[in-house]
Structure 1
């Protein structure tokens, strides 16, 4: 039903569910959103390298508060059904963007699976979680930016290792083709190539880790 004409309904500042019976307004339940600790710091860190979009199944009663803690020009979409979130991810990918989705509920399952990288925030990592690429303990939510930085630095390290290995092998191949590489020397250089990659990766990882401090 709908509220009676004599009832007064204030503008919603939070998520609210209104109840009426036989066309008589009975009242409403108001749900106050409680944000995870450190959420503003997470947004401030992420805005340096990514564009942030909030997809919420709630109404827009929290728009003003969210806008105050989010970076400027953040996309805010409310009343989003699971299929709406999925379609948003698809549209971003069609535009050539790489999408990281962070969700904490089954209503995010489709979007998590569709995104290039899906991360579920879980209060208990031992319980069922939607299909995704990673499960993050809710207590470590504030470390999302650090984890993403570590992942990016890890990829950078792998690329450096490939480049180092390429030049190492090209030099060795040059000696082999000119007949200047004896079998016994080649037998020694083979394990040394693996050892050199391990040492190189360790050194690069050490310096990249110091930058994170």
Structure 2
């Protein structure tokens, strides 16, 4: 009598390789970081840099734009944990996350793509905005609206304008400000300058 070993069914399809996916994402970011625009970027170049076949990429991403969105989204650090104690402290935390990201060479390529290729790739930028930018905007909006509710900020404050003042000041410093002006206290200085105009009790 022969005892047969139990047969374990194999899951359909090939298992996803985290190592391969990481190599593909890294290769995409490397090429973009070296100055290659989205229009110049090719699946062939990414596959060659990552050391994988094109079919490995196409099993995970149906097209180049999907891959670029996922790659760029990895550059955005998770939202900082907000203490919720004071509006000032929470705004500093949010803006300091912008400062930290801008200090990384790879992260700067996100802004370059956003400013130079948005018109050519509207779908790509729309999806990237939804995945990586909108959550940060919503977090800042929530903090400002909370500040209005608690009386920390002016009751008549235009929330969108307040967000533009804060994020715009950080953008200027990170993109067009003096070289090396990403000091650890930059977010604090921006928030304090903004609060001088939007805090409760100001004219």
TM-score (norm 1): 0.26
Structure with more strand by fraction: 1
Structure with more helix by fraction: 2
TM-score (norm 2): 0.27
Q: Rg larger in 1 or in 2?
A: 1
